[in-house]
Structure 1
Amino acid sequence: MANDNPSIISHVSLGTNQFDKARAFYLKALAPLGCKIIMEHPGVAAFGKQFPEFWVGEPHDGKKAEIGNGTHVSFAAGSKAEVDAFHKAAVAAGGSDDGKPGPREEYGEPYYGAFIRDLDGHKIEATFWDEELAKKLGMG
């Protein structure tokens, strides 16, 4: 059976030292992007729209979760308004602003994003890539 998922990534996992709070945070922060919990096991939850693409949970080895310097996870948004709503929801859920919504021209004129630090300090982002503008600019 063919898989129509256009992503090159199967899934991404982030560790947490406060699973119940992290689960609640991601339920609120990812809701504006149309994400929900697809699958759960004790101490871990998988979010996505159709597939379990983003996992948050207690480390499998039982050790303390740590933050990766230079690591972040970016979630695809369908519009600039979704990026804005993600940022607002994530801050309201207890995350901290790490880059307000707006264009990031250093990544290309069609790029619009917002950065958050989650409850464990992981850097997450929502990104909208304006495909029409990219085509006009010869980038797509």
Structure 2
Amino acid sequence: MLLLDHVSIGVPDLDAARPFYDAIMEALGVSKVYDRVDAIGYGARCSADDVQSSCLAVYLDQSPIATNRRHWCFKASTRDQVDSFHRRGLATGGRSDGGPGVRPHYHEHYYGAFLFDPAGNRVEAVCHAGEPADPPISR
């Protein structure tokens, strides 16, 4: 069962966020579905014929982004996608909060990477599929 239908992330500067989210969503194989003055969207909304989709909206929002434990985690199909998510996020204004690697404290095959977007929102990509002989890394 998919838990979330859609999620929204607020940023104070959409022009700074756009290249970052374009890059990390493309790395995860997610299409941009709209690009407006006040928001950009990725993925696909559910419908009566498609109840498995989900979408992300990145909205222009001048509210302060404070340090907290909130973050958004996106599913990756492969570990290469997680690597690309992290690499491309760094190349487009993101900051690392933990490079790609196995995090066995979640489960033995949890392969994730963490970034802060240009505004300071924390995002993650994770692949749950296992691969043999992966050394764990600390976060």
Given the two structures, how large is their TM-score scaled by the length of structure 2?
Answer: 0.80
Higher mean Cα deviation, 18-27 or 33-42? 33-42
> Matches of residues 84-95 of structure 1 in structure 2 within 5 Å?
84-95=83-94
> Matches of residues 63-78 of structure 1 in structure 2 within 5 Å?
63-67=62-66, 69-78=68-77
Listed as ranges, the gaps of 5+ residues in structure 2 are 46-53, 133-139
Match of 1:39 in 2: 34
Q: Which amino acid aligns with 1:9?
A: L
* Deviation of 1:66 (Å): 2.2
Question: 8 Å contact 1:83–1:128 — kept in the other structure?
Answer: yes
> Matches of residues 1-20 of structure 1 in structure 2 within 5 Å?
6-20=1-15
User: Secondary structure at the residue paired with 1:46?
Assistant: strand
Listed as ranges, the gaps of 5+ residues in structure 1 are 1-5, 134-140
CA deviation vs aligned residue, 1:6-45 (integer Å, no higher than 9, x gap): 5220111111010111112100122111112113443111
* Deviation of 1:123 (Å): 0.6
Match of 1:138 in 2: none
Q: Take 1:67 and 1:7, find their aligned partners in 2: how far apart are those partners?
A: 28
CA RMSD of aligned residues (A): 2.0
Higher helix share: 1
% identity of equivalent residues: 33
Given the two structures, how large is their TM-score scaled by the length of structure 1?
Answer: 0.80
Moved over 6 A (4+): none
Relative to structure 1, is the Cα distance of residues 67 and 54 closer, same or farther in structure 2, using a 3 angstrom cutoff?
A: farther
Higher mean Cα deviation, 66-75 or 10-19? 66-75
User: Secondary structure at the residue paired with 2:4?
Assistant: coil
Q: Take 1:118 and 1:105, find their aligned partners in 2: how far apart are those partners?
A: 25
Relative to structure 1, is the Cα distance of residues 119 and 81 closer, same or farther in structure 2, using a 3 angstrom cutoff?
A: same
Q: Take 1:67 and 1:76, find their aligned partners in 2: how far apart are those partners?
A: 25
The answer to whether 1:120 aligns with 2:104 is no
CA deviation vs aligned residue, 1:39-70 (integer Å, no higher than 9, x gap): 3443111111x3361111113xxx42424611
Aligned length: 124
Question: 8 Å contact 1:15–1:65 — kept in the other structure?
Answer: no
